[in-house]
Amino acid sequence: MPPDALQNSIAGVFLLGLFALAVTAQVRVIRRIAQDGGRVRTAEFRMPDGLVAIVLATFFVGMGISAIFRHAAKGDAVTIQQVIPGSIVFVILTAGVAGFLKYRGLRLIPLLGLAHVSPLRIAGWVLGLVVVAFALSGTANALTFAALHGKAEQQPLVQLFRDVAQQHDIGAMAQILLAGVVIAPVCEEFLFRGFFYAVGKRYLGPIVSGLACALLFAAFHLSISALAGLFVLALCLTLAYERTGSLLVPIGIHALYNFTSLCLIYLQGRGILPSP
């Protein structure tokens, strides 16, 4: 067997084994959730929270549809000047939801499990489960890439980072890293897992809520070609939240996932790694 073929075979077996382990790990989590109901608290949520969740989710869907049609009509791309202002708007929106919950009398720290898990355990969960997330979402992305015959369109922010990495624009890369590795994981996990999923679980159950929130999360990122991978990633993040009961775990997984992905894109943009 030629050396290249042998290397490809070994890599294929390794990836297949990693995928099988990831699926096994998630099935075990699902079984545990089915037995004990999971660790995400929902009893404190009431109808006003559900109404706010519906309004906000509808707003996200409308914003996504509008952006898709606008991009199709004009071919607009995200610019570096939009990154930080857009992130600030998202922070304000997230703070508004948190303020509403506080006004309702909910204590966010115990509700979101921000204090009951030690930092060491959080780090362990994050490092272990991010591998699972990469294995499963990476498989979904690879299948999508194959189905589209290699013509998959990148997420707008990912394409922008690829462009500035090729130009070696340190300032622009720093802005995208701040938005993608710090702001997005905190805000998105609070909204999609801490709020949307928890409220949905309260009234619809974990399965319907988990699938609906994963679809909303995937659509929110405005990339048809990345939809399947983002959907699977969202499910992994939800299962991590249910398994540990602490929102810090999906936040950490999300941040490390984004950081690792951007590092790989940077290496590809600089020609150190081959582009897909």
**23 has a pLDDT exceeding 90:** no
**pLDDT tens digits, 64-93:** 777 766 665 555 667 889 999 999 999 999
Say what the pLDDT of residue 7 is.
59
Tokens, residue 199:
């409220």
Name the percent of the chain lying above pLDDT 90.
Answer: 58
119-153 residues labelled b (16+ CB within 10 A) or e (exposed): eeebeebbeebbebbbbbbbbbbeebbeeeeeebe
Name the percent of the chain lying above pLDDT 70.
Answer: 90
Which has the higher per-residue pLDDT, 119 or 66?
A: 119
Q: What is the pTM of this model?
A: 0.92
Say what the pLDDT of residue 3 is.
55
The alpha carbon dihedral of 268, 132, 64, 242 has a sign of negative
Split at pLDDT 50, 70, 90, the class of 17 is: confident
